[in-house]
Amino acid sequence: KKITSNNPIIKVNAKDRNTWMLVEFATGKTIQISERESETDKISHDNWDLGFSRTKIISNGGKTNPLGNTGIINLGLVNFDDVKAAPKTGYVQDHRSLGNLINKELAGWYNYRTRTHNIESKKNVYALKLNNGIFMKMRILNYYCSQKDNECRSMVCTREEAACLTIEYVLSQPGSQEFLDTLHVKNIQSPKNVIE
């Protein structure tokens, strides 16, 4: 099923497995840091919401950054536009599992196709409580740079074609858990390190 959207869309270049692309959704600002830097104080000094590296996603909270407050709830496969407000409680922060940073709400965001070895987003909707008092709803629409997920079901999409995550999102106003009517929301401009 093809998804069309009037909501803001951002496309994140997460191709480099040795770096994290940190994204602040309110501004569209991105910061690229090395895997080694993610284990240092550098990750706690910048404003960001989610970090992407290939299929891995971290959030700015919990074990990833104890100074951050970002938390996530997986709302499941629901209609994106029907989510009018963020939940009050239940947000999960990152933890460490087998030495890796992980957020259990985001860990299973995709299906792995064993026949073609490709990644396909489940297109679940996620509610996020961000550090700046803003809430966000989002879903990952696609994992490939120029192919669609469903085009990769029957053919092999190369690794070079992978890890350009297309993300649909809507932010609340500061201090509110309600999401604005997207007809009044404009897409952010594509910043540096974000693919148009």
Domain ranges of the chain: 9-184
Query: How far apart are the C-alpha atoms of 30 and 12, rounded to whole Å?
Result: 9
**According to the model, what pLDDT value does residue 194 have?**
45
pLDDT at 195: 41
Count the Cβ atoms, other than its own, within 10 Å of residue 1: 4
CA 137/CA 154 separation, integer angstroms:
31
Residue 45's pLDDT is what? 66
- Predicted TM-score (pTM) of the model is 0.87
Q: Give pLDDT, residue 121.
A: 94
Q: Residue ranges of the chain with pLDDT lower than 70? A: 1-4, 38-42, 45-46, 149, 154, 182-196
User: Collapsing DSSP states into helix, strand and coil, what is residue 82?
Assistant: helix
Q: What was the pLDDT predicted at 89?
A: 96
